[in-house]
Amino acid sequence: MIFLFVITLFPSIILAEINDRVVGFVDNEAITLSELEIRYETAQKITPDITREEVLNTMINRILLVREAKKIRLEAPSEDELLEEYIDLKIRAFIRIRDEEMMVFYEKNIEEFQGREFEDVRGEIENYLIEKELNKRLKLHIQELKENACIKIQLEKEVE
């Protein structure tokens, strides 16, 4: 009796639940189409030409990294902070940029620094090179995590 009442008053809610489907799995964790669509809409505001596949891949990467952070018992107030702490601890902490690397970068890109001396831009160069190396190592780390996980993507039905 109550169930019929809910269907009568809120048919769109019931239909939304029925129409939602799983578009990806990471081991035993599912990613639903509705979750993907929410993330996709948000991502499009920042990067208009991003694809659903790229957003789904980012969601998968995030699940893998969060799971690893929890394995080593990291805790943080938010998932974003947890990921940042994990990346700092597992990857960023091991990146060292030598002075020679920074000087080579400076000399190759001297026109970008508009006449500023090396010592004036040293910090900017170091931060840039650290981020570049971090991205490279993070991609490798995620690839390793993916190789050890069971990932299935079911995005073949295109959504408008």
- pLDDT per residue over 97-129, tens digit each? 999 999 999 999 999 988 899 999 999 999 999
| Res 156: pLDDT | 74
Enumerate residues 6+ apart whose C-beta is below 8 A from 43: 50, 54, 55, 58
What distance lies between CA 90 and its chain's CA centroid?
A: 16
Top pLDDT among 82 and 14 is at: 82
Nearest-angstrom CA–CA distance, 24 and 120: 48
- Is residue 110 classed as helix, strand or coil in its secondary structure? helix
Percent of the chain surpassing pLDDT 90: 81
Q: What is the pLDDT of residues 39-48, one digit of tens each?
A: 999 999 999 9
